[in-house]
Chain A
Amino acid sequence: MKERFDVIVVGAGPAGLAAAYTTAKAGLKTIIFERGEFPGSKNMFGGVLFAHSLSEMFPDFWEEAPLERALVEERYWLLSEDSATTFSFKTKSFGQPPYNGFSVLRAKFDRWFAGKAVEAGALLVNETLVEKLIQKDGKTIGVQTGREDGDVYGDVVIVAEGVNSLLTKELGIHEEWRGNEVGVGVKELISLPKETIQERFNLEGNEGIAMRILGTTRGMTGGAFLYTNKASVSIGVACMVEDVSNECVCPNDLIDDLKNHPMVKPLIAGGSTKEYSAHMIPEAGFRSIPELVHDGLMIVGDAAMLTILITGEGANLAVTSGRLAGEAAVKAKENGDFSANGLSSYKEAMDESYVIKDLKQFKDFAGYFHSNRDILNLYPSLLNGIVKQVIATDGLPRSEKIERAKAMLKEKKSYWQLMKEAWHGWRSIR
């Protein structure tokens, strides 16, 4: 194709759309390619969009974006066979501007976001797969799409194709992700009447809850989640690919385990499954982030492995990285320099932002879980057992109960081991 663009964006997920919106708004001639029928049509995630990243671009986006519920509670569940120990934080203030996070359904949300990019002047081309990055003298100069006469040239290509990043792999920028660098997530959308959700989760108006659940993954590195939408809940589980394949577990069984757990079952009783989806998720964090800037090329979002497992963040990192890459492209255009050097302000801005700082902070976290299988295998049930022992009022003197609880613990772990593990756990997040 003859027509040239300043910026070519591959993938209309949160990362690509944030980049395209930013460059188009600054007047750069921007084209976005999306392989799906429309942005969001193929996309899924658990469901929480943390608000800060988007409000930097659209200060009052909650007034117009298709959001489900404002999340006012974060609840952590440690589950064993028939028990749960819960930690929860709830605040009414998260239900008001500037909000903390929203539950979101991607099919609607991505489409809305794409509308914003198009309004800003970007050209959105759906149902078009980018097959290859076109190179000349080691510089990316365009993309090859699957359509006839489908080569497009531009000054810079922003790769936002998500975790399954074939384009940058083909350039040798990174290897094929290994089984311990990615996870697989499965999710069901279960519809329930709004009133039922209000009642079961103790919610008012447009408030919602995010639940994170440990202990239902048969000891594999991973966790489960449940988020409330307006009239449905998103429930799912994500596990490291390596574990899933080693244990020969079908991800589908994991979601069944979760749905049938006696603590979870009543929450979704009577609901009907409207949607089932599965997607990969980057899990290795900081260690597997590829070089973000190359000649004529920037990598954003999941394609750059930008997710933080412990806090369930990904979409917000995608938005921020997309925006920063967009801003770098604008700067490069002003200077007429799209080399890696000319685009380096992207990397600098990333290093300064919460994205890379947080990723660094949690860089050992997934590895810690992975190499200490007891954390997910043993601790939830041990904790529940001890709490039960201490709480049950059964005629035994308390002093005796505490001794028994200690014995339960010691039977599984020596104090020395416990301290060692706690120390490593602490080290992994600081």
Chain B
Amino acid sequence: MHLVVCVKQVPDATEVKVDPVKGTLVRQGVPSIANPYDMHALEMALQLKDEHGAKITVLSMGPPQATDVIKRSISIGADDGRLLCDVAFAGSDTLATSYILSQAIKEIEKTDPVDIVFAGKMAIDGDTAQVGPGIATRLGYSLVTYCLGIDGIDTGRSVIKARRQLEGGCEVVEADLPVLITVVKEANEVRYASLPDLIKSIRSDVTVWNKEFFELDIPQCGLKGSPTQVKKIFPPPPKDVTPEIMNTGETGLDEIANTVAEAVSKAGIL
């Protein structure tokens, strides 16, 4: 089996601030991490590899520093990686990004057909959840979103059985291979690298593909190929709430608990 996992490098969401004057994201000095959902997608692929044997190729589009997320993936068991990096890709929205990634997967397929493409449920810096489905559509793959786990692969019939996360439940589906699967974080716990594997990954050379390495219609890439435009970014205005300090001495705990419960239900929080 050949599994491709899409991993994005994102700014650590806990540290991103919005510039109140310019209305843009302040990314300078903010550490980058591998999009957490993507790592759960990789773990799902690794578990398949453990069980059935597979080759895992990690694919990322981003700036040169995004080699870090590919190395991290290699440290826990991915076999190979490609970083798609070119100024022509900068500013891509979800449409352009899914185009570029699917073109790269087509190129990879030329030498090594792909059975499953994995992606995270969404990236934590955009929260769109569009790129995975976009790739599936372009490649004509079947699509399983919000995947919690893979229960079986029937190579004879070329189908996969998977569990999907629903609100308040779980759905078991079958999908034809090749398939694109997007993964939620409840799916698994991501493993740690052993020291020798970690060191090997630090020393590994990541293959970088610029726009010359695979077939691309350049007008569909980058800013030019991106119909979505971010007009404005702003932090939601803080709610104007004045805390009320209640004294247990006067009223007793029960009454305070009641007051709080009432206020919470009135505010529609529960």
Q: Which residues does A use to contact B, with CB under 8 Å?
A: 1-3, 37-38, 41, 105, 107-108, 123-125, 128, 145, 147-150, 152, 274
Partner of A150 from the list B17, B29, B194, B202 (CB cut-off 8 Å) is B194
Known: A125-B202, A274-B17. A150 touches B195 (CB 8 A): yes
Are A145 and B17 closer than 8 Å at their CB atoms? no
Bound complex: CA A41 to CA B196 (Å): 23
Residues of B within 8 A of A149 (CB): 194-196
> Can you report 29 A-B residue pairs in the complex whose CB atoms are below 8 A from each other?
A1-B195, A1-B196, A2-B196, A3-B196, A3-B199, A37-B33, A41-B31, A105-B29, A107-B29, A107-B31, A123-B199, A123-B202, A123-B203, A125-B195, A125-B198, A125-B199, A128-B198, A145-B195, A147-B192, A147-B193, A147-B195, A147-B198, A148-B194, A149-B195, A149-B196, A150-B194, A150-B195, A152-B195, A274-B17
New A-B contacts (14) at CB < 8 Å, excluding given A2-B196, A107-B29, A148-B192: A38-B31, A41-B31, A105-B29, A107-B31, A124-B202, A125-B198, A125-B199, A125-B202, A145-B195, A147-B195, A149-B194, A150-B194, A150-B195, A274-B17
Bound complex: CA A37 to CA B33 (Å): 9
Bound complex: CA A148 to CA B192 (Å): 8
Residue from B29, B195, B196 with most neighbouring chain A CB atoms (10 Å): B195
Residues of A within 8 A of B196 (CB): 1-3, 149
Residues of A within 8 A of B31 (CB): 37-38, 41, 107
- Total interface residues on B, CB under 8 Å, equals 13
Bound complex: CA A3 to CA B192 (Å): 20
Residues of A within 8 A of B202 (CB): 123-125
Count: A-B pairs, CB below 8 Å:
40
Residues of B within 8 A of A41 (CB): 31
Q: How far does the Cβ of A190 sit from chain B's closest Cβ, in whole Å?
A: 13
Residues of A within 8 A of B198 (CB): 125, 128, 147
Q: Which chain B residues (158-175) contact chain A, with CB distance < 8 Å?
A: none
Residues of A within 8 A of B199 (CB): 1, 3, 123, 125
Residues of B within 8 A of A1 (CB): 195-196, 199
Closest to B12 in A: A37
Residues of A within 8 A of B203 (CB): 123
Q: Which chain B residues (190-221) contact chain A, with CB distance < 8 Å?
A: 192-196, 198-199, 202-203
Residues of A within 8 A of B17 (CB): 274
Bound complex: CA A321 to CA B221 (Å): 51
Residues of A within 8 A of B194 (CB): 147-150
Closest to A152 in B: B195
Bound complex: CA A145 to CA B194 (Å): 10
Bound complex: CA A1 to CA B33 (Å): 27
Closest to A193 in B: B21
Are A128 and B29 closer than 8 Å at their CB atoms? no
Q: How far does the Cβ of B171 sit from chain A's closest Cβ, in whole Å?
A: 36
Q: How far does the Cβ of A135 sit from chain B's closest Cβ, in whole Å?
A: 19
Bound complex: CA A201 to CA B192 (Å): 48
Known: A123-B202, A124-B202, A274-B17. A108 touches B29 (CB 8 A): yes
The 9 A-B pairs at the shortest CB distance, nearest first, are namely: A148-B194, A150-B195, A147-B195, A149-B194, A1-B196, A1-B195, A149-B195, A149-B196, A147-B194
Q: How far does the Cβ of B50 sit from chain A's closest Cβ, in whole Å?
A: 15
Bound complex: CA A147 to CA B198 (Å): 9
Bound complex: CA A352 to CA B100 (Å): 61
Residues of B within 8 A of A145 (CB): 195
Residue from A123, A124, A149 with most neighbouring chain B CB atoms (10 Å): A149
Closest to A33 in B: B195
Residues of B within 8 A of A128 (CB): 195, 198
Interface string of B115-154 (1 = CB under 8 A from A): 0000000000000000000000000000000000000000
Q: How far does the Cβ of A309 sit from chain B's closest Cβ, in whole Å?
A: 29
Bound complex: CA A2 to CA B200 (Å): 13
Residues of A within 8 A of B33 (CB): 37
Q: How far does the Cβ of A257 sit from chain B's closest Cβ, in whole Å?
A: 22
Residues of A within 8 A of B195 (CB): 1, 125, 128, 145, 147-150, 152
Bound complex: CA A37 to CA B72 (Å): 12
Residue from A105, A125, A148 with most neighbouring chain B CB atoms (10 Å): A148
Bound complex: CA A94 to CA B74 (Å): 47
Bound complex: CA A184 to CA B211 (Å): 53
Residues of B within 8 A of A125 (CB): 195, 198-199, 202
Q: How far does the Cβ of B5 sit from chain A's closest Cβ, in whole Å?
A: 20
Bound complex: CA A37 to CA B34 (Å): 12
